[in-house]
């Protein structure tokens, strides 16, 4: 993952080190405190005139003890169809998941990739569902701690993208 990406906490505090180093420190801290974690990674986007803003989040859930997240925003002027935008969201989430999956494996942390794609065929975003599922589930097992690729959730179960990332992209 690119070093120049700027990540922040929900309170706006910028992360001064790479997200990999930040996540490693989080995992060590939580592991040493005996806290079980689950991680959900998702991306949402919003078209604003000629620009599209993407927000990717890494959501840490402390089982029974709340959670916290890291946020990365990015803006592009590239014009995209809804399907292309949905698949770009998925690609951004997978890029982050791929960069961090070895750390999650090392600390035995379950990870899910969330896609802001509706499972209801009456919605336009549903056109991208089959391709997104294939993309995520098709990741090699050795990279994902699973014989089926990354764990994948779509709407209405994809809270990392449809709720968390959605809140920071508007």
77-122 tens-digit pLDDT:
999 988 888 889 988 998 999 899 889 988 989 999 898 877 666 6
Residues 108 and 120: their CA atoms lie apart, in Å, by 33
Q: What is the pLDDT of residue 70?
A: 98
38-86 tens-digit pLDDT:
999 999 999 999 999 999 999 999 988 899 999 999 999 999 988 888 8
The CATH code of the domain at 8-169 is: 3.30.420
Residues ≥6 apart with Cβ < 8 Å to 87: 128, 131, 132, 135
2-12 tens-digit pLDDT:
445 799 999 99
Listed by start position, the domains of the chain span 8-169
Q: What is the pLDDT of residue 149?
A: 52
């Amino acid at each position: 993952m690119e070093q120049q990406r700027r990540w922040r906490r929900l309170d706006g505090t910028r992360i001064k080190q790479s997200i990999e180093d930040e996540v490693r420190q989080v995992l060590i801290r939580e592991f040493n405190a005996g806290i079980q974690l689950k991680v959900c990674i998702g991306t949402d986007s919003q078209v604003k005139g000629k620009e599209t803003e993407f927000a990717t989040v890494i959501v840490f859930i402390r089982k029974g003890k709340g959670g916290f997240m890291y946020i990365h925003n990015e803006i592009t002027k590239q014009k995209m169809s809804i399907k292309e935008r949905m698949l770009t969201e998925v690609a951004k989430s997978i890029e982050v998941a791929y960069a961090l999956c070895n750390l999650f494996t090392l600390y035995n942390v379950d990870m899910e990739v969330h896609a802001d794609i509706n499972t209801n065929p009456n919605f336009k975003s549903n056109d991208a569902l089959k391709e997104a599922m294939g993309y995520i589930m098709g990741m090699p097992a050795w990279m994902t701690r699973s014989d089926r690729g990354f764990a994948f959730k779509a709407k209405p179960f994809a809270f990392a993208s449809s709720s968390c990332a959605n809140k920071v992209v508007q």
